Homo-oligomer: A and B are copies of this chain.
Amino acid sequence: MLTFVLVHGSWHDGSAWKAVIEHLEAKGHQAFAPTIAGHGKGVNKNVNHAQCTQSIVDYIVSKDLTDIVLLGHSFGGTVIAKVAEVIPDRIRRLIFFAAFIPNDGESLNDNVPSRSQALFDQLASESDDRTVMLPFEIWREAFLNDADLDLAKSSYAQLSSEPYQSMIDKLDLKRFYALPIPKSYLYCTEDTALPQGEWGWHPKMSSRLGQFRLVQMPGSHEVMFSNPIGLAEKIIVAGRD
């Protein structure tokens, strides 16, 4: 029996994992899905990356969770890398699920193509709270390409705008890259949230981990919506010893 802590990505909150958690629990595991500070609907979006990290550390410590498999999706990868620096002794394994793994000193934004950088910058400037909301067409075509239009719409309705500061903060990751915690990289083979090839998730991000366990499945960047049962099965494969 494993204890999973699932950390969502940009635009999401902890509720994105609902169906995945049900299946993990049905398989006998425990799973928790905190919402990162500044994320979700109706909250103050004025947060930086350090506050995002601290909110997840606080969640884990307040519940006194130990021996956890800590998973980060997408932007959540930058968060779990920093969380692991603070509370390494509570972590059994890290799973980077279609996750950003910046090099030491980089931000998330340093790891997206210049076209996306320009878009995010523009959207943040045009917002009244320095946040970025993902346009629906990108969500539908590049993030949920394996779903039908109804699911693309209903899942989009769950999203909320992303604090821009947490995307551009440069991260000191020296301690993370020295941690001996086992690591897995979970990747869906139709994920085009980052364009495949030069800028793709795998092997660009994954190879930075040094030794890691690769787990793949068919699907898009958002299989927690389009295939939560399949995702839960692969999370177990990625998370076991």
A residues engaging B (CB < 8 A)? 137-138, 141-142, 145-146, 148-149, 182, 189-190, 192, 195-197, 200, 202-204, 207, 211-216, 218, 237, 240-241
Contacts and interface: CB of A to CB of B under 8 A. Distances in A.
Count this chain's copies in the assembly. 3
Contact of A137 (B190, B211, B240): B211
A197 B214 CA distance: 13
A207 B195 contact: yes
B216 A190 contact: yes
A214 B237 contact: no
A142 B192 contact: no
A189 B202 CA distance: 12
Report whether over half of chain A's contact residues are helix, strand or loop; otherwise say mixed.
Answer: loop
Most buried by B among A203, A215, A237: A203
6 nearest A-B pairs in the assembled complex, by CB-CB distance:
A197-B203, A145-B213, A141-B213, A196-B203, A192-B214, A149-B241
A145 B215 contact: yes
A9 B124 CA distance: 44
A108 B213 CA distance: 24
